[in-house]
Chains A and B, each alone.
Chain A
Amino acid sequence: MPELKTSTAPAASSGFSIGSWQVHVANLFGTRHGALGASILLVLLLVAITAPLIAPYSPLEQTQASLAPPSSQFLFGTDNIGRDVFSLVVHGSRSSLMVGLGAALAALLIGGTLGILAGYFQGPVEAGLMRLVELFQTLPVIILVLCAVALFGSNFWLLIAAVALAIWPMEARLVYGQYIKLRDREFIAAARVADLSTAHIMFREILPNAIQPIIVQVALDASIAILIEAGLGFLGLSDPSKVSWGRLLFVAQDYMDSAWWMSLFPGAAICITVVGLNLFADGLNEVIDPRSTSGVGGLQ
């Protein structure tokens, strides 16, 4: 089909080079979801970095007014011991984002490494690692994290490690799947024939081709990590020395009848963050796989 083939070849179908980064970012902002998600994340990042400048009060400062409703003085009201909820929410972004990013990256490191190993070395290594993944996926994520916290306590860094421990199997599955898909392709075979080293094939030939869906998964992992951290906080099991949105909801649970603002604003902050990450991942997916949106949908 000469006509169809020449005119429809996608502009950037394969490969991933530094030069195409700008193209991808431009495309990401070209999709409605991607632009919105990326903007939300940028704003959140900015808030987290400049938290002390934005927050009118220190998160530990107890004002005279406890359980005061939202007003011009206290934008989001105050909590049971008179702390400014707005300042708390602003400062809470730090631990949420840190857990999200930290756990997702740690999961990528663990899952990615094991996935690569399983995908590259076939045979018993592959089988063993996949069994391990299955084992970890049998227990619900939240229960896994709770167990870890129950046994080892809720220090902030331990918490990140626990969340990472719970979500790495998803990452491992994805990386493994990508490797399986790519390892038999021609260009990998060509690299083998050219007698390139194993490490070179892994990191220079396979990784660049597998990276896009992995970035999407990292964004989704981060959203799951943030939800888990919020959940732990809500159960009162997060690090008590850190302000976190989940922990604010834990306190709010006892004041639902008198101070709705203590629940509404931290909860909304969690939602916005998670929506931002999901939109970002959606946009990224669209850029990677433009088919998903260009066609006409539905049942005719």
Chain B
Amino acid sequence: MSLSPLLDVRDLKVHLRLGPNVVKAIDGVDFRIMPGECVGIVGESGSGKSTMARAITRLMPNVNIAELSGELSFEGQDILAMPDGALRALRRGRGFSMIFQDPLGYLNPTQRVGRQIEEALSCDSSRGSNRNRVHTLLDEVGLPDPANVARRYPHELSGGMRQRVMIAIALASDPQLLFADEPTTALDATVQLQVLQTLYRLHKERNMAMAIITHDLGVVAELCDRVYVMRAGKVIESAETVRLFEHPQQDYSRRLIELSTRRLPRELQA
């Protein structure tokens, strides 16, 4: 493992203009991910954790941005200053990908799943080999009968299957870093665990760095090496997962831990 971070964020600020007001959604955040590392970002909804992921991946929705500043470097390249073309190249191959909370809304309802995955493949090659790669990906994310699934439309799949399709899309470009924004929140409890297991397996098998954004510290305990705790647009605590659970420095972190201990721990890493 190299010593330089894969992603290095310093003093990130995202201020949004909402009508007459300016909301400081992210207000000076430092953040680091090493290659192959799994990092958790926790906080209640509105704490700015999703906005941070969107800002780092430059996938902000159409909002009125009052200020977007800071240093965002991915493998030493400045993401904020990057021209559109270079950014696209980074998304298409060996860069970063993202999966979202609501896979139904984030999949195109009028296109077959296979085509949506194929579109994301890192480089275009012949049709036949593209199809094979799509099937391999579907198999890799744990979907049985890939040929059949590839022909389906999103609404014909279950929630868990859709999230696996989203993961396959994200993996299609062989990313070094995967952002997962509340990947299991919309799923049933049993399916949640399966999807998390799959994510963890892919993280290990591919030696892919992951940033998991969640309000559920249980998820973090199962997957992550380190945790950032966010509140009101700021990182209030960051520590190794074990350290945080044993010696939380902030009352807020302690409360989050207390809330989640009822469901803890399933010791996935064992």
Contact = CB atoms under 8 A, between A and B. Distances in A.
A124 interface: no
Interface string A1-28: 1111101101000000000000000000
Contacts of A290: 19
Contacts of A2: 46, 232
Interface in B58-78: 60, 62-65
Nearest to A4: B46
A296 interface: yes
Contacts of B45: 1
A55 B233 CA distance: 66
A3 B18 contact: no
Contacts of A3: 23-24, 46, 232-233
Contacts of B18: 4, 7-8, 294
A3 B64 CA distance: 17
A297 B64 CA distance: 9
A300 interface: yes
Contact of B62 (A1, A8, A298): A298
Given A2-B46, A3-B232, A297 B19 contact: no
A297 B62 contact: yes
B19 A296 contact: no
B21 interface: yes
9 contacts: A1-B44, A4-B46, A7-B23, A8-B21, A8-B23, A294-B19, A296-B64, A297-B62, A300-B62
Interface of A: 1-5, 7-8, 10, 290, 294-298, 300
Given A290-B19, A294-B18, A300-B62, 16 more contacts: A1-B44, A1-B45, A1-B46, A1-B47, A3-B24, A3-B232, A3-B233, A4-B25, A7-B21, A8-B18, A8-B19, A294-B19, A294-B64, A295-B63, A296-B62, A296-B64
Interface of B: 18-19, 21, 23-25, 44-47, 60, 62-65, 232-233
